[in-house]
Structure 1
Amino acid sequence: MFAAAKATENSPRPSIGFHALTLATFFGASAAPTPLYRIYQENFAVSPVLITVIFAVYAFALLAALLIAGSLSDHLGRKPVIFFALVLEIAAMGLFVVASGPGWLIAARIVQGVATGIAGASLGAALVDVDRAKGQIVNSIAPLSGMAVGAVGTSALIQYGPFPMHLIYALLLVAFTLQAGAIWLTRETGGTRPGALGSLVPRVSVPPQAKRPLSLVTPINIANWTLAGFYLSLVPSLVAGTTGSTAPLTGGAVVTALMVSGAVTVYLRRGKSVSANLNFGVTAKTLGILTVVAGVHLANVPLLLAGTVFTGAGFGTNFLGSIGTIMPHAKAEERAGLLAAFYVQSYLAFSLPAILAGFLAQSAGYQVTTDIYATAILLLIGAGLIAVRAGRRQMAENAA
């Protein structure tokens, strides 16, 4: 017993900082291709439709990994599963480095999606293992922060560094290699238990008591992730096409503004009520989208940036409100299945409309595509807010 206590005392302390940095690096790498899409279009003669397909396969792969391997680290331990995800991500970066056409990019994005899905689940669980309260906050902020740094960092390297299509991936490959070695210097935060093979069977279930809350918040959630998919797949090309500004940092800054404002707002409003967050989120998002549309039509980059800040604030707050609406209705043993259903909905909204946007951009242009997308998103969030308020009124009347 004394020996066990001594071993625990001498073992490496779990580091919330290391896990947070690794999670942010994964999502930073996921945003790295966004500023490069316009360059891929020019160098590989890739159409807007194919660009959105390259974007969407990442989301499909990530969703599949979440559903199949999302709970694997509960059975095998956090460290080996995180290490496996890092090895896959290193392979993805290698594919990006040697990419010579769209086929290579699709393969790289599929491998990257699988790696990020596994890493997101296992690193997220490890963060909660180390510190439940801080871990939940970091799980909300680290992905958005990482994507912001990934988008603006890649844009800066494209504009000022050599080898624009390869340098960022080479640097990320080195970073992931270092993290793959460092993970073995941290202490295991989870445990092991039998049933690893059984855990690979996807489980998506919505408890009966959560079906109505999920259906009420669905329009807002779909609008949220449809917007994110549009930004991460087409916005740099949209900025160049509508404003004439071809500097990579310009398009990257617009994407970064969405992620930074989302992360900051999540942190600032983490203690607010669900109702307050949804009201704030819908208002901020509506104002932001209208400003973005005005920026596109006026070819005004500062207006685009200002609108994106409001839109990002709405994105982050709507996400908080959506999760807060459904999760209290699930028992402890029902949460994983409900979250899986929520993420299926979210990532389908993240990817499928982006492909439609690619077709619209190719046939009608970026300006018309923005108008159609903005109209659809505004209608969805408006309908969602009305439904949520009506649902709350009905619940109050039933309780009375």
Structure 2
Amino acid sequence: MHGDSRGWRACLLAGAVFAVCMAGTTLPTPLYGLYQEKFDFSELTVTVVYAVYAFGVIGVLLLAGNASDAVGRRPVLWWGLVCSAASAVCFLLASALGWLYLGRLLSGLSAGLFTGAGSAYVIELAPRGSPRGTLVATAANMGGLGCGPLLAGVLAQYADRPLYLPFAVHLALVVISAAVLLRLPETVRERRPLSTVRPQRPSLPPRVRPVFGPAATASFVGFALFGVFTSVSPSFLAQSLDVHNHAVSGLVVALAFFSSTAGQLAVGRVGVPRSLPLGCTLLLAGLALLAGALYWDLLPLVVLSAVVGGTGQGLSFRAALAAVAQVSDDDKRAAVISALFVVAYAGISVPVIGVGLLVAPLGLEGAGLVFIACMALLVSTAGLYLQRRPVPEPGGAG
């Protein structure tokens, strides 16, 4: 029992470090309007600044996604914290647009380093055999993403220096996290030099492809919905709904991430075969609610869209991850999962830039409706396919 309590303490502390790093990646979300006023840039630039983050994540996943298996979890997490701190410093020093690009790129590198290594570390620190380690990792990841805009929004609205204080607070939290990480044990027993790490090429063995297609499509749409919420929803709230309260903007975005956590936790009860099509259905409902919010300019529909769409994203993504892992051979699993993450993070960047390009000719509402129509078509196709060919239950035939 004493060993279990020590294991849970280490697991929860590692989860807190994970959450701090992920919070830094969404911290600028409710502040983009203030940066637009300060540097006088367009809605397209907002989406590009946001999307630079995803390119950093994808680069790390492809080049060093398996680094922590070789050199250990803690060294990789150290570098993740260094990138997170450097990102905060860039925003603190931001005197021109270039600082924002650099800060977002470093933020993406930190998230890429933490995504795999942080999840594995939290799970490995939990008492052996406990499934709750996965729940802690999930809650730390998505909960941290939700806390970022909430923290920044509250500080920007109710404290002085809104473009500085959120990043100063986050930098302090990163320093505390580094001190915590210093006291946690390493979980990788047999370590190899960094020179043995090779870039991971995403690969899809033939038996994986029938499951991967709909799973990746649902993941793409779910992350695209998050991308729109975290990049342009504050602008929509301000321009169309006359909501200029940064705390409210941050809360709306946070609700999407917190709902995703709830959706991911529900997969265990619902089961993987049902979670994927159910997640697709909820994503479609979330998109429909967002369309209604854009068309009728209604704040309650924006909130409902965040909750319903976020829940659908959580259900579909955790089920997609479980489904592709289930049908992958042991020696190909990491490469297949990397491919799924690459598709997901492409979803968080490419459609968002598309929305930014359409804002000038169509306006924010028109660009949003075009985005929703495209994503609805994709997720409907995936959902219908999954109804006809459901994925196997993990541990079952497949």
Deviations 1:326-355 (A, max 9, x none): 111012222101111111111111111111
**Structure 2 counterpart of 1:298, which letter?**
W
- Matches of 1:258 and 1:90 in 2, distance apart? 25
Corresponding residue of 1:79: 74
Corresponding residue of 1:142: 140
**Structure 1 counterpart of 2:341, which letter?**
Y
Q: Residue 13 of structure 1: CA displacement? A: 8.6
Contact (CA 8 Å) 1:14, 1:188: kept in 2 or not?
Answer: no
Corresponding residue of 1:293: 291
**Measured at CA, do residues 230 and 194 of structure 1 come closer, stay the same or move farther in structure 2, by a change above 3 Å?**
same
Q: Highest Rg: 1 or 2?
A: 1
Corresponding residue of 2:22: 27
Q: Which runs of 4+ in 1 moved over 4 A?
A: 11-14
Matched residue SS, 2:161:
coil
Deviations 1:281-328 (A, max 9, x none): 222222222222222222221222122211111111111222232111
Deviations 1:59-98 (A, max 9, x none): 1011111222222122222222211221221111111100
Q: Residue 389 of structure 1: CA displacement? A: 2.7
**Structure 1 counterpart of 2:259, which letter?**
S
TM-score by length of 1: 0.91
Worse-superposed segment, 14-23 or 25-34: 14-23
* Matching of residue 126 in structure 1 with residue 117 in structure 2: no
Gaps of 5+ in 2: 392-396
1:8-87 matches, cutoff 5 A: 15-87=10-82
Deviations 1:178-237 (A, max 9, x none): 211221111112224335323132332222211221123333222112111111111111
> Percent same amino acid among aligned pairs?
25
2:323 corresponds to which of 302, 322, 325: 325
- Matches of 1:13 and 1:32 in 2, distance apart? 28
Worse-superposed segment, 91-100 or 285-294: 285-294
1:378 corresponds to which of 376, 379, 382: 376
* Matching of residue 102 in structure 1 with residue 110 in structure 2: no
**Measured at CA, do residues 207 and 136 of structure 1 come closer, stay the same or move farther in structure 2, by a change above 3 Å?**
farther
**Structure 1 counterpart of 2:115, which letter?**
G
Contact (CA 8 Å) 1:74, 1:191: kept in 2 or not?
Answer: no
Deviations 1:16-58 (A, max 9, x none): 1111111111111111011111111111111111111111111
**Structure 2 counterpart of 1:97, which letter?**
L
**Measured at CA, do residues 192 and 362 of structure 1 come closer, stay the same or move farther in structure 2, by a change above 3 Å?**
farther
Gaps of 5+ in 1: 1-7, 394-398
Contact (CA 8 Å) 2:225, 2:309: kept in 1 or not?
Answer: no
1:71-220 matches, cutoff 5 A: 71-131=66-126, 133-194=131-192, 196-220=194-218
Corresponding residue of 2:251: 253
Contact (CA 8 Å) 1:155, 1:252: kept in 2 or not?
Answer: yes
Corresponding residue of 1:4: none
**Structure 2 counterpart of 1:23, which letter?**
F
Worse-superposed segment, 170-179 or 72-81: 72-81
**Measured at CA, do residues 13 and 282 of structure 1 come closer, stay the same or move farther in structure 2, by a change above 3 Å?**
closer
Contact (CA 8 Å) 2:54, 2:345: kept in 1 or not?
Answer: yes
Matched residue SS, 2:207:
helix
- Matches of 1:13 and 1:286 in 2, distance apart? 38
Matched residue SS, 1:333:
coil
Over the aligned positions, Cα root-mean-square deviation in angstroms equals: 2.1
- Matches of 1:117 and 1:245 in 2, distance apart? 33
2:360 corresponds to which of 355, 359, 362: 362
**Measured at CA, do residues 202 and 214 of structure 1 come closer, stay the same or move farther in structure 2, by a change above 3 Å?**
same
Matched residue SS, 1:245:
coil
**Measured at CA, do residues 201 and 195 of structure 1 come closer, stay the same or move farther in structure 2, by a change above 3 Å?**
farther
Matched residue SS, 1:305:
helix
- Matches of 2:184 and 2:84 in 1, distance apart? 20
